Structure 1
């Protein structure tokens, strides 16, 4: 099922990008590079390894917040349509009660949850050149697999989001701010998804 979903999503993305490229008349802008950071808030209490919770009991969240950096490239293909590619490094910090959570191992310190997301997507500007909606898919690598006793080194990731571009006084320089939801499939042999909300802020510039 997971392989089928990944194949479907990647196929739809490829068709969308190919269609946009074939329909291209004039490139409205040059390639844009952005470098920035983000703050994350995980959803639920099972981010990480997932847990088995007894009936009527409540799981303690091992990871609640995180932060990361990312490098992104935006490639214009149509007016108000860009293809994106990004790489990042994220760290999710263990919560105050992380060592007592169901994910912790007795007498072992629970490590941070470090990931490297690799994503491609499409960015669509709506009603001008400031506000955009974006969708991305890709693979997230687990940077400290051994420390987390994970079974897999990578997992499928998808992420929708919205944002705004704020032009700076210097020509072709921008501030890119936005919010997104990101979901990564499990690194273990279970049905868990690692979900979080992210706020990002980046400095971007055109190569021209």
Structure 2
């Protein structure tokens, strides 16, 4: 129930951003004539699956370059930082109970992919790369790097006549295991990225 409420909140926020984008009278350039576009964004999300058992939510930031390769198609390079906040887990055992403080997970994802605009302002994006676990010593993992993938949809709308824009996207991000012995070491979340582009 708690996850359903969080996902609903994210979906409503994205719907509001989509409505705001439709209210614009101009569109952002989806052609190669604008050259490379850069954006700086805030990332947030909520864990899904078994990853939700020990973590509450994540917050971070990212920088991205959109490099035009064809009309309406861009090659993307993205690097960022994500802090996933650990939960306090209550463990009941017999007549006593104890708590376990799950440490925050600190990730540095580096991804590349493609961004396609099927219609003005609306895009579909897919990225993959490597996610570096910066605090491996806080966990019982035997790997500090995992494969990361992130399909995303979003809207991009102008905020000035000079080509600056807002980029708002919703994505699912997942990794392979950080521990060979545990499927629970996969990182999975539904997230949003709200960025300012120029």
TM tier relative to shorter chain: 0.7 to 0.9
Which residue is equivalent to 1:161?
152
Out of 77, 84, 94, which is 2:69 matched to? 77
Q: Following the alignment from structure 1 to structure 2, what is the Cα–Cα distance between the partners of residues 86 and 110? A: 28
Q: Helix, strand or coil for the counterpart of 2:140? A: coil
Q: CA RMSD in A?
A: 2.0
Q: Following the alignment from structure 1 to structure 2, what is the Cα–Cα distance between the partners of residues 123 and 99? A: 43
Q: Following the alignment from structure 2 to structure 1, what is the Cα–Cα distance between the partners of residues 113 and 124? A: 11
Out of 146, 152, 165, which is 1:174 matched to? 165
Q: Following the alignment from structure 1 to structure 2, what is the Cα–Cα distance between the partners of residues 98 and 29? A: 50
**Aligned pair 1:135/2:116, yes or no?**
no
Q: Following the alignment from structure 1 to structure 2, what is the Cα–Cα distance between the partners of residues 202 and 176? A: 5
Q: Give 1:39 shift.
A: 1.2
Q: Following the alignment from structure 1 to structure 2, what is the Cα–Cα distance between the partners of residues 66 and 132? A: 24
Aligned residues: 161
Structure 2 spans left out of the alignment, 5+ residues: 1-30, 93-97
Q: Following the alignment from structure 2 to structure 1, what is the Cα–Cα distance between the partners of residues 123 and 100? A: 44
Q: Following the alignment from structure 2 to structure 1, what is the Cα–Cα distance between the partners of residues 143 and 173? A: 19
Q: Give 1:107 shift.
A: 8.0
Q: Give 1:150 shift.
A: 1.8
Which protein is richer in strand relative to its size?
Answer: 2
Q: Helix, strand or coil for the counterpart of 1:28? A: helix
Out of 39, 46, 49, which is 1:41 matched to? 46
Which residue is equivalent to 2:102?
110
Which residue is equivalent to 1:15?
none
Q: Give 1:169 shift.
A: 2.0
Structure 1 spans left out of the alignment, 5+ residues: 1-25, 48-59
- The CA deviation string for residues 146-173 of structure 1, in whole angstroms up to 9 with x for no partner, is 1123210100011101000110124110
Q: Helix, strand or coil for the counterpart of 1:146? A: helix
